[in-house]
Amino acid sequence: MTYEQILLSAIFVPITGAFLVPLAGRVSRFLRNGLSLVLILFSFSCSLVLLPHVFSGQPVFFSYVLPLGLDFVFVADKLAVFMSLVSTLISSVIIFYSFGYISHYENQNEYYCMVVLFLGAMVGLVFSANLIFLYLFWEITAVTSWRLIGFFRERKQVLKADKAFLVTVFGALLMLLGFVQIYQQTGTFVLTHAALPNVAVVLILCGILSKSATLPFHTWLPDAGVAPSPVTALLHAAILVKIGVYVYARLFISSYSIDVFWQTAVPVIAAASALVSAGAALVETDLKRLIAYSTVSQIGFIFFGLAIGNEMALVGGLLYILMHGLAKAGLFLCAGIVEQNAKTKNITELGGLMTTMPKTAISFLLCAFSVMGIPPFGGFFSKYMVFSGAIEAGQVWISLVFLIGAFMTILYLFRVFNMVFLGESKGHEAKEQDSSMVFSVVLLAILSLVGGILIAFPSMLAHDTAVQMLAKVIP
């Protein structure tokens, strides 16, 4: 197979395969579960095959010319391969976890179909180098996340699913207007290096902020916590919310050039978002909402890293995507184990779970350390590089604000660990029942730790990627 074919099959095998998943489900659940995992692992291994080739400095292109600037263009550069590796790696773990978590519920066929379709669309989005196709995959992820948030189908969940869908579509439509303006200026939807007018930047930022659940479009994310835990982990912690961040990196750093003004404006928005949601996380009592607010807060750090625009901060931002994805997925999946076994999400009713579910507790703690940024966990390095880059760029005041945010992260994560796992039990006894679920969280915790200890490898990838992005080699 040529590299172009590998690139295309990384996208279209999961997308077409997703529709076979419900059919497989009619035969047997093992076939269906196996097929879903295989499809995602396939996409993962395609990215893995592309990795050495692309990082040796030869990006892979696929392009098919169509009228009206709608050229069908996919590019696998370092940024895209890095991102697709992160997404497919985390989602492989999450789907393995789902085997245990989702097995007691109805509509499993739809669940697996939507998860695989989501992942396929995500990979498609990552490799797209045409704004309209990027938008197309973006909306497919929105549709699948709508179905997945409403998975339990009670009125409450479906309302929240509709809210998430409407908020993100509202942002996406504004973004589409921005794309139309870019088209008017450049005559094509394919990515170029043109300088963007500020109106287009504002319109596109609305889309990016709504998808990445950043102030002022963040409220859908905590509400979406009504979804099954693997879904919240997959969509709202590890992958979906990173779409906005990724598109920011793809459009505003590695392709179009934007005004220097945004190097200050975006960190200010991100700082507000990080502080407000960290404050919300400090007082929240619903376990999953709390972790969701933490996600909103951490996304602010990623935007901070990306927006500053020097190499160090950019490397930090990219590493942050990986480390936060691993650790936050781990936290959500631990929350899922707690919720399913203790039958409550309210942290004031929980306590003393350390003794009955030690593996979950330890994994939760390790992932929390990574999110807090405690060495030698992966999260420390990413946070350190973001701050170091910001100081280098002279953004001292905003860095101080973010430092307060980082401090609050430590507070609320210790608070939640304390309330759920330490102290006396408050009547909700729980045991770790399903081994595939426990295995997944342990794996994510170990990955967070190993990612920090062996930081040389991921930071080398992130560094190469950052260099390529800043040089604007692609497309």
Partner 1 sequence: MYSWLVLLPFLGVIFLNLPSKTVRYKLAFWLSLFIVVVQLFFVIVPMSVAWSRILDSLGTFLKMNFSVDSLSQVLLFCIGLVALVTLFVQREMAQDEKQMFNFANVLLLVLAGMNGIVLVRDIFSLYVFLEITAIGSFILISLDESFSAFEGAFKYIILSIVATVLMLLAIGLFVLVAGSTSFEAIGRAFADYPNVFLIRLAMGLFLSGCFIKAGLMPFHGWLPDAYASAPASVSILLAGIVTKVVGVYTLMRVVVSIFGFDPTLRTILFLVGIVSIVFGALAALGQGDFKRMLAYSSISQVGYIILGLGSFTLLGLAGAVFHLFNHAIFKSLLFVNSAAVESRTGTRHMDSLSGLSQRMPVTGVTSILASLSAAGVPPLAGFWSKLLIIMALWFSGFIWVAVIAVLASVLTLAYFLKFQRKVFFGTIAADFNNIKEAGFGLMVSSVILAAIIIGVGVLFPFIFSNFIVFISPLIGGTVGT
- Smallest gap from Cβ 143 to partner 1, in A, equals 6
Question: Residue 194: is it exposed, middle or buried by C-beta count within 10 angstroms (0-12/13-18/19+)?
Answer: middle
**Residue where the block lists tokens 């190993």:** 450
Query: Does 183 help bind partner 1 (rule: CB under 8 A)?
Result: yes
Residues 99-128 that bind partner 1 (CB under 8 A): 106-107
**Under rule CB under 8 A, residue 174 binds partner 1:** yes
Residue 67 touches partner 1, criterion: CB under 8 A: yes
Judged by CB under 8 A, does residue 170 bind partner 1? yes
Which member of 1, 23, 27, 68 binds partner 1 (CB under 8 A)? 68
Binding flag, residue 72, partner 1 (CB under 8 A) = yes
Q: What's the min distance (Å) between Cβ of 49 and partner 1?
A: 27
The stretch near partner 1 (CB under 8 A) out of 50-58, 176-184, 337-345, 463-471 is 176-184
Site stretch for partner 1 (CB under 8 A), options 46-54, 157-165, 264-272, 394-402: 157-165
* 264 binds partner 1, rule: CB under 8 A: no
Residue 224 near residue 232 (C-beta atoms within 8 A):
yes
Strand partners of residue 102: none
* Unique residue bearing structure tokens 């998808």: 211
Separation between Cα atoms, residue 233 and residue 295, nearest integer Å: 10
Q: What are phi and psi of 254, to 5 degrees?
A: -90, -10
The answer to whether 132 contacts partner 1 (rule: CB under 8 A) is yes
Residues 306-345, mask of contacts with partner 1 (x by CB under 8 A): ----------------------------------------
Structure tokens at 55: 């990082």
Residue from 184, 355, 433, 436 binding partner 1 (CB under 8 A) = 184
Residue type, 409: T
Nearer to partner 1, 141 or 360 (CB): 141
User: Whose Cβ is closer to partner 1: residue 101's or residue 135's?
Assistant: 135
Which one among 25, 101, 127, 139 touches partner 1, defined by CB under 8 A? 139
Q: Quick check: 154 binds partner 1 (CB under 8 A)? A: yes
From candidates 49, 70, 194, 442, binder to partner 1 by CB under 8 A: 70
Q: For partner 1, which stretch binds (CB under 8 A), given 74-82, 178-186, 413-421, 463-471?
A: 178-186
Interface residue with partner 1 among 153, 193, 431, 472 (CB under 8 A) is: 153
Counting contacts by CB under 8 A, is residue 26 touching partner 1? no
* Rounded Cα–Cα distance for residues 66 and 69 (Å): 7
Residue 153 CA, distance from chain mean position? 24
Q: Which of 48, 51, 166, 194 binds partner 1 (CB under 8 A)?
A: 166
Q: How far, in whole angstroms, is CA 283 from its chain's centroid?
A: 24
Characterize the bridge pairing of strands 72-76 and 60-64.
antiparallel
Nearest by Cα to 296 from 348, 352, 334, 242: 242
Using the contact rule CB under 8 A, the part of the chain among 161-169, 316-324, 336-344, 403-411 near partner 1 is 161-169
Residues that bind partner 1 (CB under 8 A): 66-68, 70, 72, 106-107, 132, 135-136, 139-140, 142-143, 146, 150, 153-155, 158-159, 161-162, 165-166, 169-170, 173-174, 176-177, 180-181, 183-184
